[in-house]
């Protein structure tokens, strides 16, 4: 499974907080990398470098510079879940759900386009959270992935 980072913040004592697509927020202790990967030890004497963190293009990790980076899967696996909120942007939630379903089915966007007759560009837009698919399109995508589409209304309280 591929998890994507949406936002990262620096916390005290060499922790970072990452918000993943789908609403999970994880806290990760960067200090544990100081021993295993000596290049991370530079943070001890350079807090300015540590605070210069950014999410990599595509959300597949975070980086400080060309030599210091951390992939999203490591943060997901080794981080501590501190918050799980429903994604406020329905398009981003749909993007995440479709991406995870497609990866789970081990199908590329191109293959899904061929199976469903939906343009690959349209599938890409949905997976990036900028598409606005019809229910019929969602149904075709689910069928192409050999999955069931589940739409429900849930109480907020």
User: Average pLDDT, stretch 14-23?
Assistant: 90
State the architecture of 90-144 in CATH terms: Orthogonal Bundle (1.10)
Q: Class of 5-84 per CATH? A: alpha beta
Residues of the chain above pLDDT 70, percent: 94
All CATH 1.10.260.40 domain ranges in the chain, comma separated: 90-144
What are 42's two structure tokens? Answer: 């530079």
Task: Kindly indicate the confidence band of residue 1, based on its pLDDT and cuts at 50, 70 and 90.
Answer: low
Q: Is the pLDDT of residue 33 over 60?
A: yes
**Predicted local confidence at residue 62, as pLDDT:** 97
Pick from 51-55, 143-147, 150-154: least confident: 150-154
**Predicted local confidence at residue 22, as pLDDT:** 77
Per-residue pLDDT of 102-140, as tens digits, reads 988 999 999 999 999 999 999 999 988 888 999 999 999
Task: Kindly indicate the confidence band of residue 10, based on its pLDDT and cuts at 50, 70 and 90.
Answer: very high
All CATH 3.30.2020 domain ranges in the chain, comma separated: 5-84
Mind spelling out the 3-state secondary structure of the chain?
CCCCEEEEEEEHHHEEEEEECCCEEEEEEHHHHHHHCHHHHHHHHCHHHHHCCEECHHHCEEECCCCCEEEHHHHHHHCEEEEECCCCCHHHHHHHHHHHHHHHCCCCHHHHHHHHCCCHHHHHHHHCCCCCCCHHHHHHHHHHCCCCCCCCCCCCC
**Predicted local confidence at residue 96, as pLDDT:** 80
Mind spelling out the 3-state secondary structure of 68-104?
CEEEHHHHHHHCEEEEECCCCCHHHHHHHHHHHHHHH
CB 96 within 8 A of CB 59: no
pTM of the model: 0.59
User: Average pLDDT, stretch 15-40?
Assistant: 91
CB 38 within 8 A of CB 30: no
């Amino acid at each position: 499974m591929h998890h994507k980072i949406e936002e990262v913040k620096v916390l005290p004592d060499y922790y970072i907080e990452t918000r993943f697509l789908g609403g999970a927020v994880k806290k990760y202790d960067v200090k544990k990398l100081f021993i295993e990967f000596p290049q991370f030890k530079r943070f001890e004497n350079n807090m300015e470098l540590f605070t210069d963190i950014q999410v990599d293009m595509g959300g597949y990790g975070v980086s400080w510079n060309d030599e210091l980076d951390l992939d999203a899967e490591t943060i997901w696996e080794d981080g501590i879940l501190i918050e799980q909120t429903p994604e406020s942007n329905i398009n981003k939630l749909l993007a995440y759900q479709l991406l995870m379903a497609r990866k789970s089915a081990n199908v590329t966007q191109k293959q899904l386009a061929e199976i469903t007759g939906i343009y690959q560009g349209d599938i890409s837009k949905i997976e990036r959270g900028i598409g606005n698919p019809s229910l019929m399109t969602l149904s075709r995508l689910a069928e192409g992935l050999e999955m069931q589409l589940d739409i429900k209304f849930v109480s907020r309280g």
